[in-house]
Chains A and B, each alone.
Chain A
Amino acid sequence: MRQFYEECKQAVIKGDSDLAQRLATEAIDKKEPILDVIENGFVKGIEEVGRLWEDGAFFLPELVMGAEAIKKALSLLNPVLAEQQKRNFGKGKLVIGTVEGDIHDIGKTLVSTMLSANGFEVYDLGFDVGVDIFIEEASKRGVNCIATSALLTTTMQKQRKIVEALKERGIRKKFRVIVGGAPCSRRWADEIGADGYAKDAVAAVKLIGELIGGS
C-alpha cells in the first residue's frame, strides 16, 4: 500500500483529527485520486479502529476519536469527490433518532457517530422524535434507512408505529427500518416487521452496511 494511504490510515487509528485534516487537504492539493484515498486510507483506519475496539484493545474514547478524525477528513474530501465523480463517498444515507416520548440519547448518538465515521450519510434527528418527523425527514433527505432508538418498554411501541405508518402510506419498501436500545431484541425487530436489530454501535455499523451498504 502506498505510504500516503498508510499515513491516512494511521491518522484515524491515532484519532488525530488535525493530522487527518492536513492529509485530506494535501490529497486535494496534490490531486490524489480521492476515492482511493478514502477507501484505501481513511476507511482502512476506521475499520482497524472498530476491530481493535471489538478486541478490547481500544476503549470508547479511542473509538470516538477515530470516528471524529475520519469524519473530519470526509467532510473535506466528499465535496471534491462529488465534483469529480458526481457522487459522494457514501455507503448509503439514513436518518436516526430516539423515538417520541423518550429522552435517552447517549447510545443513539454513539451509533450515529460510528455510522458517519464509516461513511454513511447520517441525519441525526435527536431525541423525542415523532413518527411523522421520522418519515418526513426520511423522504425529504432521500435516505434508504430509518434507524430508531428506544430505551423504554413504553416508547419502544413507537418503533412498531413507524413500520405501520410506512405501510399505511405505501412506502414501506422504500426504507430499511432498524431498531436498537435496551428493551429491543432481534425478536422484537421480527415481531414488528423491522429489517434488523443491533446490540451496539459496532454491530449497528455492520448491520446497516449489510442492509444498505451497496446502495
Chain B
Amino acid sequence: MQNVTQIKWFEEEKIAKIVEQAIAILSETGVYIESEEVLSLVREAGIRIANSRAFIPEEVVRNAIETAPGKVIVYNRYGKPAMDIGGWNLHFNPGSSAIQILRYGAGKTATPVSRDLVQFARLTDSLKAYDAQSTALVPGDVPEEIADRYRLYLALLFSGKPVVTGTFSLDGFEPMREMLQVVGGGKKELKERPIAIFDCCPTSPLSWSELTVGNLVDCAKSGIPVQIVPMPLTGATSPITLVGTVTQHCAENLSGIVINQIAMPGAPVIYGGSPACFDMRKATTPMGAVETQMINGAGAQIARYLGLPSHAYMALSDSKAVDYQAGMETAMSALVAALSGVNNVSGPGMHNFQTCQSMEKLVLDHEICMMAKRFREGIKLREADRPKEIIEEGIRKKTFLTLKSTLQWYREEAYLPDAVIDRAMGEKEADVSEGDILKRASGRVAKILKSHNSAPLEFEKSEAIKEIMLREAKKAGIDKLPELPD
C-alpha cells in the first residue's frame, strides 16, 4: 500500500452492497440498448433481451470486471507512456468539447475557430500538470459534419500529448480512428500503444443510444481505450439521494464495461463519469456542487474496489467568469478528485457548466492541479527517524536555512507555484484589484504562446492525416481546410 493521502467515502462492506445492488439492477431492471447490431452482439453472448433491454446476469458482470484490465496506459505521439491510469495514479487533462472560448485578455466569450484550437493545443502541450490534451473546443469555421474529426486533426498536429476525445456521430469514428492509426504508426501499434481515449456516454437512466453504444463497440474492436461517462442527474434522471445516484452510476458503468468486454475481452476501459447534483432552482447541471464531487469521489472508490481504472469530470467550475467562484469550485473539486483517487480527471480550463474553455483558467488551473498532486503525495517520511537531531542542529547553528537537510530537500518538499500565484507580501495601503491574477495569467498565456511549440509531427504523418481530413472535408462540400497560423 502506497503512503497516500486519501478520502474514504464508504466502508468496504458498504461498497460491496452498492455493487451488489448495481448488479441486481442490471440483471433485473436491465439496460436499454438502441442499436440492433449491439443487441445481437449481446444476445450472442447469452444475455436475455426483451423490448431492447438487456438483462445482464451477475456472472457476466463479474466476468467483465475480471477481463477488463486493471490499468490503462496511454502514450504520447513520441511513443512514450504518458498516462498510467489505475491504482492511485493521478492525471489531469482539460475539459472537452466546449461550445465557447474565452480568449486570453478578452472579457467576452466567442465561438471557437481553428486558431483557438491550435493555441489551446500548444498551451496544453506546455503545461506539465496535464498529461493529456483533449479536443477541448468545437470549431465553428468548418462544416458541422466534420467538426468532431477536425478538432482531433488539430490536436494531433499541435501537441504531442495523448488526446481525450469522442465523436458526435457514428460516422465520426472511422476517420478519427484512421488518423490515430497514422499517428500511432499502424493498426497493431495503435492497439499496443494507444494515443487517445474516447468518451462514451450512456443516457441515464440505464440506456445506451445507438451512437454512443456504437462507439463503445468500435473502440473495443480497435483497442482504443474507452471512458464510460454516465451523467446521472440527481432527482432528474437518477435518485435524489447521493447513494442512489452512486449506485445507478455504478450500474451504468458496469453495463458499458460488459458491452465493451463482450465486443473484445481485455479491451481497455475506464470506469468514469460526469454525474451532477442537479440544481432544482435553475435546472442546471453544476459541476462545482459539493455533492457532484462526492458522487464522483465515491465512484472512484468503487472503481478501485473493483480493480478498475477511474475517471471523472472534475476540477472545473460553473462560474461564467474566471473569478472567485471559478477558483473555489475548481480547487475543491481537484482536491477531492486527487484525494479520492480518481485516476484521470477531465475538466481544467472549463467553466460555465462544461460549455466554455478559458485560456487563462487553463493556466491558473494548472497550479491547482499541481497543488492537488502535491496533496495526494502526502507527507513523505523523509529523515523521519531523525527530527530530533535536525532540530538540535538548527538550534546549535541558530538557523535552519543552511542545514544539510534543508539544502537537500527544500526544492522537493514544497511545490513552488508559478508566478501567477502571488507569494510576495503586499505593501501597506497598496492598491489592490482582483483583476491582478487574471492579468498575470493572461501574461503567462501570451508568453507560452510566443515561445512554446511541440516537436512537429513527422512530415509524412502530417501529410497523411491532412489527406484524410481533406477527404472528409470534400464529403462535407468544401475542398479547403481553414488556413492555420504557423
Contacts and interface: CB of A to CB of B under 8 A. Distances in A.
Contact of B281 (A60, A153, A182, A201): A60
A201 B283 CA distance: 9
A79 interface: no
Contacts of B233: 106
Given A61-B235, A61-B280, A153 B140 contact: yes
Interface in B403-437: none
Nearest to A110: B283
B6 interface: no
Nearest to A183: B99
Nearest to A160: B144
Contacts of A56: 281
A154 B280 contact: no
B364 interface: no
Contacts of B148: 154
Interface in B134-152: 138, 140, 144-145, 147-148
Contacts of A153: 99, 111, 138, 140, 144, 147
A152 interface: yes
25 contacts: A56-B281, A59-B280, A60-B235, A60-B236, A60-B278, A60-B280, A60-B281, A61-B235, A103-B203, A106-B236, A107-B283, A110-B283, A153-B99, A154-B144, A154-B148, A154-B168, A154-B169, A155-B144, A155-B168, A156-B144, A182-B99, A182-B355, A183-B99, A183-B355, A201-B283
B237 interface: yes
B213 to A, nearest CB: 11
Contacts of A61: 235, 280
B209 interface: yes
B362 interface: no
A79 B355 CA distance: 44
A183 B168 CA distance: 15
B413 to A, nearest CB: 44
B147 A154 contact: yes
B26 interface: no
Chain A contact residues: helix, strand, loop or mixed:
loop
| A interface residue count range (under 10 / 10 to 19 / 20 to 34 / 35 or more) | 10 to 19
The 4 closest A-B pairs by CB, nearest first: A59-B280, A154-B144, A153-B138, A157-B144
A182 B109 CA distance: 14
B184 to A, nearest CB: 26
A17 B132 CA distance: 52
Interface of A: 56, 59-61, 101, 103, 106-107, 110, 152-157, 182-183, 200-201
B211 interface: yes
Nearest to A61: B280
A154 B166 CA distance: 13
A157 B146 CA distance: 12
Interface string B124-167: 00000000000000101000110110000000000000000000
Given A101-B169, A153-B144, A154-B144, 18 more contacts: A59-B280, A59-B281, A60-B280, A61-B235, A61-B280, A101-B168, A106-B233, A153-B99, A153-B138, A153-B140, A154-B138, A154-B148, A154-B169, A155-B168, A156-B144, A183-B355, A200-B282, A200-B283
B133 to A, nearest CB: 19
A182 B138 CA distance: 14
Interface string B454-474: 000000000000000000000
Contact of A103 (B211, B281, B353, B355): B211
Interface in B306-334: none
Nearest to B211: A103
A158 B278 CA distance: 28
B171 to A, nearest CB: 11
A101 B145 CA distance: 10
